[in-house]
Chains A and B, each alone.
Chain A
Amino acid sequence: MTGLSSKAEEEFSGLLPADASASAKLFFEQFQRAGLPGRRVESWHYSDLRTRLRVVPPVAHAPDEAARGVARHKLGASERLRLVTIDGFFAPELSDDFSGVAGIEISSVGEAEFFGGAADPMLDLNAAFSRGGFLLEIGVGARVEPVIEIVALAGAETDRSRFGRNLIRLGAGARAAILETRDEGFAGFGDSALFIELGEDSQLDYACRCRETAGVEVQTLNVMLAARAKLRAVSLLAQTPFLRRQFFVSLGGEGAELQLSGAAILGRNDHADLTMVVHHNAPACVSRETFKYVLGDHANGVFQGKIIVPPHAQKTDGKMLCRGLLLSDDAAMSAKPELEIFADDVACGHGAAVTKLDAQQLFYLETRGVPHIEAEKILIDAFAADVFDTLASEGLRDVLRQDLSDLLGEKEPAS
């Protein structure tokens, strides 16, 4: 590292409580050794967190009545079964009662209890600071039909640092569909971690919609799939002042399958970095990474994908695709797909392309009476919406489609 610590790093050091556990201190030391990642760290080259994070807001406390009031107001009513976090803390008072739902166990977590995943300074920082997440377990063989929604809300109305850390675990053969709604608002700093562990033959549909993310936010997902487990995961990002969403996936058992997709609908000065490292750690695993970026105004989209295939992972099938749609000359897209292949009998590939709206298609729609703005929306929707098709859960697909259409409804005319 640079040797010099940034002002933000020093502030973190001051914020770590004196009575923090030994393990929290260890993680913090690990973080300190690496420092806040920035341009000079290869995997963070396009997202200069070190420069962006100037001031560290106070660390969020467990929610009090006032915080619950703020969150409750935003939460509104829903048909779905919900699990709510406030400033990263599991809030049973706002969550539905799951005790009657067969196959689901939910428990609170104190300090970080589950580890693993990648060596990453922001994950270490999270482990040092996180308090009060949840553990959601779907039991062996359980088939949970209704969509379970995790809602992440803010309680504080001023800038806070949030360190949510949660675990979703599916037992062997279990099936579930989970929707995560992240809506903590623009204020503050976020460094969250979500662990997903899929037992043998289990299947999870997981959709995450990031609505308003913090001024500076990092989301880390650590995913482990056992043999023949299937994960179909879609992220829909919008209104991200500075977001890094990173996935560390281990396909750890033979025949596991990953569908990792996403769409980022960006405008203003939004910066969204989707980075994924997919380890094919067993033979005959399949992975598909497909990401679409719609970039208006001065938006900046980043895609970094790496598929790693060690020598023993024969019959690996991995394909990565990233596409950008530039709506403005001031928007930018950086894409870095990589394959690290050490096995010989594999089928792997990647592609990246950046395009603009097709003037002829727009004209065709307009000659049918569809106004220019509407015609743009139709084409943008068509560009992005197909990433939702990887989800098996129709309920989740519908939610994301509606969200996308709402997002485009709010979209300013392209200049």
Chain B
Amino acid sequence: MIEIENLHVAVAGKKILDGLTLKVEDGQVAAIMGPNGSGKSTLSYVVAGRADYEVLDGSIRLDGVDILEKSPAERAAMGLFLVFQYPLEIPGVATMTFLKAALNAQRKARGEAELPTIEFMKQVRAAAAKLNISQDMLKRPVNVGFSGGEKKRMEILQMALLEPRFSILDEMDSGLDIDALKTCAEGVNALRGDGRSFLVITHYQRLLNFIPPDVVHVMSRGKIVKSGGPELALALEASGYAEYAEGAAA
């Protein structure tokens, strides 16, 4: 379970999150929708532990443990995962090397032994096949020259391998064609259950058709301004964010 309370965050001296409170229960899929610039990606970066974001007030607890003082890697080892809105390209680092480093680092942090290379390869191949990721892509440096959709599939591949307890999907659907969207959503749904929870950030109902949420939150100007069931997303699709615009929410 993740509990975010009264979170105030500034980036480069500018206040972006303004008293955000949000709870995602174990096993729950929560969606966040909100206008461009409302702070959705900022929220996901802060939860993941980006150092240049200044937390002015509030707390973030994962399974009851305050994670604000923990490094991004420690948070990952606790089961946190972020699907980046814009995954990074890392020239010179082979994808397999990267995947292995990530997997083994997390195993090590949890006191587990390194995965034997053969077993590792087997797991990667199996996960890649499900996501239509070619062997050729796995041979290239991390995300380098990948199309937008390929990058997103690679994010889901990492998620499938790391089996995080709590995942934030920041616009996983952007850049995906219909088929890839289905494949990726299947990847997400395969992890559902077992107490795993998801925070799905999106602009579009279409993604939520594939990954039906338990709750929907509306974010505006750095805080959650409305919460409801799946029907809230449908209402937003029809009417937009006008009612949450400046002044209206006050």
Of A18-26, A57-65, A261-269, A358-366, the one touching chain B: A358-366
How far does the alpha carbon of A113 sit from the alpha carbon of B101 in the complex, in Å?
A: 52
How far does the alpha carbon of A308 sit from the alpha carbon of B88 in the complex, in Å?
A: 40
Encoded as 1 (CB less than 8 Å from any A CB) or 0, chain B from 51 to 86 comes to 110000000000000000001110111001110100
**Known: A367-B48, A378-B98. Contact between A385 and B105, CB under 8 A?**
no
Give the number of residues in B that approach A within 8 Å (Cβ atoms): 32
Check A383 for interface membership: any CB of B closer than 8 A: yes
Check B102 for interface membership: any CB of A closer than 8 A: yes
Check A386 for interface membership: any CB of B closer than 8 A: yes
How far does the alpha carbon of A372 sit from the alpha carbon of B91 in the complex, in Å?
A: 18
**Known: A374-B101, A378-B101. Contact between A368 and B90, CB under 8 A?**
no
How far does the alpha carbon of A370 sit from the alpha carbon of B158 in the complex, in Å?
A: 13
Check B126 for interface membership: any CB of A closer than 8 A: no
> Which residues of the other chain, B, contact A385 by a CB distance below 8 angstroms?
92
Q: CB distance B105 to A370 under 8 Å?
A: yes
**Known: A369-B73, A369-B76. Contact between A382 and B93, CB under 8 A?**
yes
Q: CB distance B109 to A364 under 8 Å?
A: no
Q: CB distance A379 to B76 under 8 Å?
A: no
**Known: A369-B77, A372-B73, A382-B92. Contact between A363 and B50, CB under 8 A?**
yes
Check B49 for interface membership: any CB of A closer than 8 A: yes
Check A371 for interface membership: any CB of B closer than 8 A: yes
Q: CB distance B92 to A368 under 8 Å?
A: no
| Range class of the A interface residue count | 20 to 34
Q: CB distance B102 to A370 under 8 Å?
A: yes
> Which residues of the other chain, A, contact B88 by a CB distance below 8 angstroms?
360-361, 364
Encoded as 1 (CB less than 8 Å from any A CB) or 0, chain B from 97 to 135 comes to 110011101100100000000000000000000000000
Q: CB distance B109 to A369 under 8 Å?
A: yes
Q: CB distance B92 to A370 under 8 Å?
A: no
- A384 to chain B: closest residue by CB: B92
Within the complex, which residue of A369, A379, A383 is in contact with B106, where a contact is CB–CB below 8 Å? A369
> Which residues of the other chain, B, contact A383 by a CB distance below 8 angstroms?
92
Distance between A266 CB and nearest chain B CB, rounded to angstroms: 19
Q: CB distance B71 to A386 under 8 Å?
A: no
Distance between A330 CB and nearest chain B CB, rounded to angstroms: 21
Q: Tell which of B73, B87, B98, B102 has the most Cβ of chain A within 10 Å.
A: B73
Distance between B201 CB and nearest chain A CB, rounded to angstroms: 15
In residues 329-383 of chain A, which contact B (Cβ within 8 Å)?
A: 359-361, 363-372, 374-375, 378-379, 381-383
Check B224 for interface membership: any CB of A closer than 8 A: no
How far does the alpha carbon of A372 sit from the alpha carbon of B80 in the complex, in Å?
A: 16
How far does the alpha carbon of A367 sit from the alpha carbon of B74 in the complex, in Å?
A: 9
Q: CB distance A367 to B82 under 8 Å?
A: yes
- B87 to chain A: closest residue by CB: A364
- B99 to chain A: closest residue by CB: A368
> Which residues of the other chain, B, contact A386 by a CB distance below 8 angstroms?
92
- B72 to chain A: closest residue by CB: A366
Distance between B62 CB and nearest chain A CB, rounded to angstroms: 14
Distance between A102 CB and nearest chain B CB, rounded to angstroms: 38
Q: Tell which of A360, A369, A378, A386 has the most Cβ of chain B within 10 Å.
A: A369
Within the complex, which residue of A361, A366, A368 is in contact with B71, where a contact is CB–CB below 8 Å? A366
Distance between A369 CB and nearest chain B CB, rounded to angstroms: 4
> Which residues of the other chain, A, contact B81 by a CB distance below 8 angstroms?
367
**Known: A363-B50, A374-B101, A378-B101. Contact between A368 and B162, CB under 8 A?**
yes
> Which residues of the other chain, B, contact A367 by a CB distance below 8 angstroms?
48-49, 72-73, 75-76, 80-82
Q: CB distance A370 to B93 under 8 Å?
A: no
> Which residues of the other chain, B, contact A366 by a CB distance below 8 angstroms?
49, 71-73, 76
**Known: A363-B72, A367-B81, A382-B93. Contact between A374 and B105, CB under 8 A?**
yes
Q: Tell which of B72, B82, B97 has the most Cβ of chain A within 10 Å.
A: B72
- B143 to chain A: closest residue by CB: A364
- B76 to chain A: closest residue by CB: A369
Distance between A321 CB and nearest chain B CB, rounded to angstroms: 15
Q: CB distance B71 to A372 under 8 Å?
A: yes
Encoded as 1 (CB less than 8 Å from any A CB) or 0, chain B from 34 to 58 comes to 0000000000000011111000000
Distance between A204 CB and nearest chain B CB, rounded to angstroms: 26
- B110 to chain A: closest residue by CB: A369
Distance between A231 CB and nearest chain B CB, rounded to angstroms: 25
Q: CB distance A368 to B158 under 8 Å?
A: yes
How far does the alpha carbon of A365 sit from the alpha carbon of B81 in the complex, in Å?
A: 11
How far does the alpha carbon of A369 sit from the alpha carbon of B109 in the complex, in Å?
A: 9
Query: Which 9 A-B pairs give the minimum distances between C-beta atoms?
Result: A382-B92, A369-B76, A368-B102, A366-B72, A369-B106, A364-B88, A369-B105, A371-B73, A382-B93
